[in-house]
């Protein structure tokens, strides 16, 4: 996580680090005639003390999964979001705008975008805080165009609200970018949990309830059998994404 807009506190922290390094390097300059270069870098981001959770309704998740699986081109979509609190966001439905796609790009015409947003109800417009697209079989790393789009959207929002961007691919990877303007915090995928809703719970909760009914059958010979790790009584979360469900064994972290 990091500030969206540089704060005075962050500025002072960077300046303090700069002068501390400069003073140490200056001592070398005075004694070493061959030392003529000074370089400095600072890391503004830091791990979130408490991660943010993005919860997908089954409908929203299945629609996104099918889009990614079905199209061999890139495809983009918008999402309707309820902000439960600063650490929990629920994406409950998605919407598609007319678009022109290739294997590596999505384009929209201004008139199509205008028609799409004019077709939304007032409630849908208020909850439109999500957009995502597929990178097909490529990495989910944001391109320069993706980052510029994020910058344009956030600048147009002013200083309040929130917005979520995601990039998916057919390998099951998701990259998440969440801008919380109200608290001036940007979260990337390292700071975000992704969960899928099952009624008012998650799919992982259902799997946990089946453990007493699904029992590993021991096989022989013993020397060819690796004893499974003992399962702890804790919440299970899915470790998969579009198109397949191999197993559930750990919290789904992105």
Structure confidence by residue, pLDDT tens digits, 43-62: 777 878 899 999 999 999 99
Of the candidates 198, 222, 238, which is a domain's last residue? 198
In a domain, 157, yes or no: yes
Any idea which residue has 């081109």 for tokens?
73
Of the candidates 150, 175, 198, which is a domain's last residue? 198
Domain shared by 124 and 178, yes or no: yes
In a domain, 169, yes or no: yes
Would you say 44 and 188 are in contact if contact means Cβ atoms under 8 Å apart? no
- Tell me phi and psi for residue 223, to 5 degrees: -70, -5
Of the candidates 150, 174, 198, which is a domain's last residue? 198
Q: How far is CA 126 from CA 79, 82, 117, 162, in A?
A: 11, 10, 11, 11
Structure confidence by residue, pLDDT tens digits, 171-215: 989 999 999 999 999 999 999 999 988 765 666 676 777 777 777
Q: Is the pLDDT of residue 235 over 60?
A: no
Would you say 242 and 69 are in contact if contact means Cβ atoms under 8 Å apart? yes
Domain shared by 66 and 32, yes or no: no
Take residue 15 and report the two structure tokens written for it: 């300046």
Domain shared by 170 and 100, yes or no: yes
Q: How far is CA 141 from CA 44, 99, 146, 240, in A?
A: 20, 21, 9, 18
Domain shared by 58 and 110, yes or no: yes
In a domain, 85, yes or no: yes
In a domain, 247, yes or no: no
Domain shared by 63 and 133, yes or no: yes
How buried is 178 (Cβ within 10 angstroms: 0-12 exposed, 13-18 middle, 19+ buried)? buried
Domain shared by 20 and 77, yes or no: no
pTM of model > 0.75: no
**Overall average pLDDT of the 59-74 stretch:** 93
When divided into structural domains, the chain yields a total of 2
Domain shared by 160 and 64, yes or no: yes
119 DSSP assignment: T
Take residue 246 and report the two structure tokens written for it: 């191999």
In a domain, 131, yes or no: yes
Domain shared by 41 and 126, yes or no: no
In a domain, 213, yes or no: no
Q: Which range of residues forms the domain containing residue 33? A: 1-46
Least Cα distance to 239 among 202, 211, 200 occurs for: 202
Gap between the Cα atoms of 184 and 8, Å rounded:
12
Least Cα distance to 62 among 77, 74, 52, 47 occurs for: 77
Q: Report the Cα 62 to chain-centroid distance in Å.
A: 17
Strand partners, 247: none
What does the mean pLDDT of the chain come to?
Answer: 83
Would you say 215 and 142 are in contact if contact means Cβ atoms under 8 Å apart? no
Report the residue count for the chain.
Answer: 254
Amino acid 214: pLDDT: 79
In a domain, 242, yes or no: no
With bands split at pLDDT 50, 70 and 90, how would you rate the model's confidence at 248? very low
Gap between the Cα atoms of 144 and 179, Å rounded:
18
With bands split at pLDDT 50, 70 and 90, how would you rate the model's confidence at 153? very high
Domain shared by 34 and 97, yes or no: no
2 DSSP assignment: B
């Amino acid at each position: 996580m990091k500030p969206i807009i540089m704060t005075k506190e962050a500025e002072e922290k960077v300046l303090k680090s700069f002068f501390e390094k400069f003073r140490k390097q200056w001592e070398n300059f005075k004694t070493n005639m061959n030392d003529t270069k000074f370089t400095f870098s600072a890391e503004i981001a830091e791990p979130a003390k408490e991660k943010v959770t993005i919860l997908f309704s089954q409908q929203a998740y299945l629609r996104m999964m099918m889009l990614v699986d079905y199209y061999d081109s890139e495809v983009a979509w918008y999402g309707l979001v309820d902000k439960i609190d600063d650490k929990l966001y629920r994406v409950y439905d998605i919407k598609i705008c007319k678009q022109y796609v290739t294997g590596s790009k999505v384009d929209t015409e201004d008139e199509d975008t205008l028609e799409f947003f004019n077709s939304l109800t007032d409630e849908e417009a208020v909850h439109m805080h999500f957009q995502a697209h597929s990178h097909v079989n490529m990495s989910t790393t944001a391109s320069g165009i993706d980052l510029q789009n994020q910058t344009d959207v956030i600048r147009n929002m002013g200083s309040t609200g929130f917005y979520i961007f995601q990039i998916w691919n057919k390998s099951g990877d998701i990259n998440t970018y969440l801008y919380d303007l109200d608290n001036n915090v940007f979260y990337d995928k390292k700071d975000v949990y992704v969960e899928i809703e099952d009624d008012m719970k998650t799919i992982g909760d259902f799997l946990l309830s089946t453990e007493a009914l699904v029992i590993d059958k021991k096989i022989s010979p013993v020397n060819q059998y690796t004893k499974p790790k003992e399962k702890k009584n804790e919440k299970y979360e899915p470790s998969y994404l579009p198109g397949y469900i191999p197993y559930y064994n750990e919290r789904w972290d992105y």
